[in-house]
Structures are given as structure tokens and as C-alpha cells.
Amino acid sequence: MKSTPNRFRLSPHGAMVAIVSAAFSNPALANTGKVDFTIGNVTVTGSDGRGRPLTKGAEVKSGDKIVSSVDGRAQIRFSDGAYVSLQPNTEFDIRQYRYSGKTDGTESALFGLFKGAMRTVTGLVGRANKNRYQIATTTATIGIRGTGGLIAIGADGSTLVTGTSGIWTLTNKGGTIDIPAGTAGLAGANVNVPPKPVDGIPVVPPPQSAPQQILPTIVQGDVVNFRGGQVSLFPPLTSGPGYELAGVAPFGAAGPTLPRNTYATNGVFDSSGALTSFTNGSTTYSLAGTQADFGTLDGVIAWGRWTGQINLTTGGTTTSVTLSLNDGLHYVVGMPATNMPTIGTFTYNLIGGTSPTFGNPALAGPGVLNSASLVGNFANSTVNVNLSATMGGAGGTTYTFVSAPGTIGAGATFTASGAGTSSGAPTFGCSGGCNLNVNGFFSGAGATNAGMVYQISNLTSLTTVNGAAALKR
């Protein structure tokens, strides 16, 4: 069908008619968007961390994250009449969408575009209250005084906006410019340099003819890759220096303890991208046993849990410790983030993690990481972590935490801590309140991913709960 690519070539008058008629003909779509069509591989992950294929007719809402692959496209129609057309290789977030049929100041359309490109025709949200409509990227904020445009994210994280009708605004720390119809503006990777007018428009590739692939559901706590497999996703991490790694391991009741912090390290990986050796200071840790848990994503981040024999070599002297299947050295590893955001607040949801274990492996076997999320406020350099884990199997103990604001430090690292509660069996409950400590790092261009290890302490059983998690916004 040739009508689909031409949806965004309406005149301003025609666009307004289409917007208004769409807004009032779909009262059942309040606070949501509906998928007009998808081509190729497009997935959506909800605020609950569950991933699913994005299909024609599906509804999307606040908290949803939509990702299109190299052959993927999608068009979404929102309840206020707005359209968003997502291009291949795009990451798009619906940060907050609210429209009850009235433009009384309660409406909002706050989106995020972190990769790729999108065409958009705005709806009724933002027409009466301009500040209620906003698109955030890692380098700029896009506002509305118009109806149509094309937005693209460059390889360096820069933001390019082309106006097709009305006037858009493009803002970063350096300043703001207006982008009338028929012109383009660029906010570069350096957010302190003001946006500037430029010639040319984003190049949007044509859709591919690959058939749609149906992906399995991904549940929080599963150690999976993007396509639902239990181990690897190409491209894997490759051996070399410069990795950031967070790890935690009590090594049972005896033996050394790996510091719960992050550091630059040489990493050695097998062909699937699983970490098999790393150097911390003057000590090299090598796995001679088993990778009990492992997952990786995007060629950016990987996580796992070592069990069995682990060799520690310092100054030519090697000692060994043995971890049972109920124990483990938990890790998450990746290259430090480039083009770290300096503005904006972004939510990171769980994409995979290790099975948490007790510091005393005699107590019980591995548990379940139920959920984890992180909110990074890059303007204030703070993070907040939510986490829930269950230990002791059926009828066991569930720990729930909402951290106090933590700190984003140098080298794209962060720390956070907070008090939490326990429910269920009292055997492993909290002794006057459980404590959570988190150490981690951001990874990927524009800090698209985050990795962290966590330790839960102050349990009545005089032990700890340890684990690792990887997240993505």
C-alpha cells in the first residue's frame, strides 16, 4: 500500500482536520495510543519489565518502551489525534501520556527518543498548553509550536530536527532555537554548545521486506537475551581492556571477599560473550568452574554468576576457592558509557539478572530477582533504585526496597543504598529492617544501559543476599 508513507504529507489544514476527527472518534483510547501498523521486528516493553512483539491494533501507554530493529517500523495513533511513525533501529519511550478529552492543563505528552528516527504529527495535547508536549533525547529537549516534524539521533548522540509544519523548538544547556517548517536544526553531542540551524534533513531508510518475527515474552528476573534465548545475543563482548565491572562474592564462610564496587579492568570473554577472567588491581580472577547464570545484550553489557573453582592470582601466586551451586561470584560487565547525559531523567528497566544467593550457601539455594528498576536524574547526578527479590523458595521471604537518592560519580559509576522490608517466612527476615547497598555503572552510547550488583544485609540469619542485574532504558 502506498498510502501509508504519505500520511505525513498532509497540508497543515488537512493535518488539523485529521487530528481533530481522530481525537474525538476514539474515546476508548483515552490515555493510550493504538498501533496502526508494524513492519518487521518491533517490540514493546511495559513498565512491568515484560517484553512482547508490537502488533497492529495493540495499545501502548505511559511507561512503554518501543524498539524497532533494522527491518522494523511502526506507526502509533494517540487518543488526542497525534501520530508517531518510528523508523528502523529506533528506541522510543512513552514517558508520560495523559489525555481525557480536554486541554485543561492536566493533559501531557512526554516522550523520549534515544536512537534512530521518528516522524510525528502532533495532536491536541500541547496546542493550548505548549509546555505539556515534549520529546527528550540525550542531548536536547524538543518543544512544540507546530504540528509536524522529523527527528533523528546521530551516531554521536546529536539531535537533528526538521520542521514540516508549524514551528518546533530545540533546547539544550547552551540555548534554544526555533525551527520553522522547511528548516532544520541540530543540537550536537556537546550540550553546552547552543543548537544551530543546518541544511539537509534526516535520511530515513526504506522498510525492509523481512517477515514479522513473533518474540517470546520476557519476564523480569529471567536470564535471557533480547530474543528470549537463555544465553547469548550477538554481538558478544570481546576480550580486552577498559571494561567497567561490578561484582560481589562472599566466597562462602571463608576466603576473600570481592569488593562491591566498580573499576576499570581487563576482561577475558568466551565466544558467547561470557566473562571468564578479569583483573582487579593486582589480582586476576579466573573461572575454572561453571557459569551458573549468564546473559548479554546489544554487545554492550553482560552479566553472570560463577560457581565451582575460581583461581585468584597475585604476584605469580595462585590460590583457589570453590563455590557451591548455592553460592556464586555475581558480576555485571560492560564498556563505560560515552556521551553521558547531563540533562533529563531516564528510567532503566530490568533486562536480565543473576539468581540471588545467600552469603551462607548452607541456608538455601538460589532465589529469584522479581524486579529491578533505576531512575537516573542526570541534571542532579542522582539515582534511585527499586528492587524486589525472594529467597527460600515457595513460602520463602521476599525483600522489597526503594532506595534513597544515590550518587552518579566519575567514570559513569553510581552508588545507592536504602532500607527495606521483608515479608513471608521469618527465618530469613529482617532484623529491625533490611539494608540494601548498590554499586554500578552506566554503559553504552548516551548511557543506554546500566549494570549493578546489590547486597541485602541485616538479616536475622546473620548472612547477606547477593546478586547482579542489567537494565536498559
Could you report the per-residue pLDDT of 57-102, keeping only the tens digit for each? 899 999 999 999 887 889 898 888 888 989 888 999 999 999 888 7
Task: Work out whether strand 108-115 and strand 133-136 pair parallel, antiparallel, or are unpaired.
Answer: parallel
Instruction: Measure CA 462 to chain center.
Output: 34
Residue 102, classified by CB atoms within 10 Å of its CB into exposed (0-12), middle (13-18) or buried (19+), is exposed
Residue type, 79: S
Topology of domain 4-198, per CATH?
Jelly Rolls (2.60.120)
Residue ranges covered by each domain of the chain: 4-198, 240-472
Please enumerate in sequence order all residues whose Cβ is within 8 A of that of 22, keeping only pairs 6 or more positions apart, or say none.
77, 81, 123
Q: What is the dihedral of CA 312, 314, 317, 322, to 10 degrees?
A: -10
Give me 433's grid cell: 529492617
Residue 226, classified by CB atoms within 10 Å of its CB into exposed (0-12), middle (13-18) or buried (19+), is buried
Could you report the per-residue pLDDT of 115-168, keeping only the tens digit for each? 999 988 888 887 777 888 999 999 999 988 656 788 999 888 899 998 877 788
How far CA 175 is from CA of 131, 191, 320, 341, in Å, comes to 17, 9, 57, 16
Could you report the per-residue pLDDT of 324-380, keeping only the tens digit for each? 888 888 899 988 888 888 888 888 988 788 889 888 878 888 888 888 899 999 999
Could you report the per-residue pLDDT of 392-408, keeping only the tens digit for each? 776 788 888 888 898 99
Nearest CA to 364 among 387, 394, 400, 331? Answer: 394
Give me 13's grid cell: 489544514
Banded pLDDT at 426 (limits 50, 70, 90): confident
